[in-house]
Amino acid sequence: MKAFSVSIGVSGGYGDVALGADIGPGMDLVASAQQVAQAHPGGVPAVAELLKVSANTLQHKLNPTNTTHHLTLQEALALQLATGNVAVLQAMAKQLGYTVQRATPDQSGGDPVEAFMHFQAQVGDFTRAAADALLDGDPVTPNEQRRVEFRGQELLAAVTHLVSTTAALVPKREG
């Protein structure tokens, strides 16, 4: 009987935060890069084409047990830019004790009332996500955690936009 393995691509995550909650502290950076390539539609061959490199070479660089081919920092950045998946950045940040927050474009168009209303809407969304995760008394699921994390990031972005919008309204001093 022949043995075989099947690789199933994972493009999970809540909203645009793909694979974030699945990257644990201390996760190997090469393993996270491998996840990025495998989760992309078409897998490693499609990513290699985007990066204009040999699929064979990229596969070797994404192999955590390979000791001769290594992904450079520039290649890791190009991989994430090409796929739109920042799992390598998230894994690196977790190893250093940081988190990654996506910079969300300002939704207010500079209107202070719109910025305030958007902030309040994000407070409600975050509160709802946290309540859904915590109030049933069951253990928090990975999906619930991803939702809370995503909503928390959106709330932080809304706070930043509100602060920036109000700061723009402060009269400039002469002299």
DSSP structure string for 112-124: HHHHHHHHHHHHH
Share above pLDDT 90 across residues of the chain, in percent, rounded to a whole number:
50
Cα distances from 33 to residues 2, 91, 143, 173, in angstroms, run 29, 9, 22, 50
Residues 124 and 162 in one domain: yes
Domain that holds residue 63: 13-95
52 and 117 fall within a common domain: no
Question: Count of domains in the chain?
Answer: 2
**Same-domain pairing of 33 and 88:** yes
| Mean pLDDT, rounded, for 148-172 | 89
Q: What is the pTM of this model?
A: 0.57
Mean local confidence (pLDDT), 96-114: 78
pLDDT-based confidence at 145, cuts 50/70/90? Answer: very high
Q: How many of the other CB atoms lie within 10 Å of CB of 31? A: 16
Which of 70, 95, 120 lies at the terminal end of a domain, its last residue?
95
20 and 88 fall within a common domain: yes
Q: What is the pLDDT of residue 45?
A: 95
Torsions phi, psi for 102 (to 5 deg): -70, 135
Render pLDDT for 19-47 as a digit per residue (tens, 0 to 9): 343 444 445 788 899 999 999 999 999 99
- Tell whether 25 and 87 lie within a shared domain: yes
Q: Please tell me whether residues 91 and 133 are part of one structural domain.
A: no
Q: Quick one: pLDDT at residue 27?
A: 58
Whether the per-residue pLDDT at 65 is higher than 70: the answer is yes
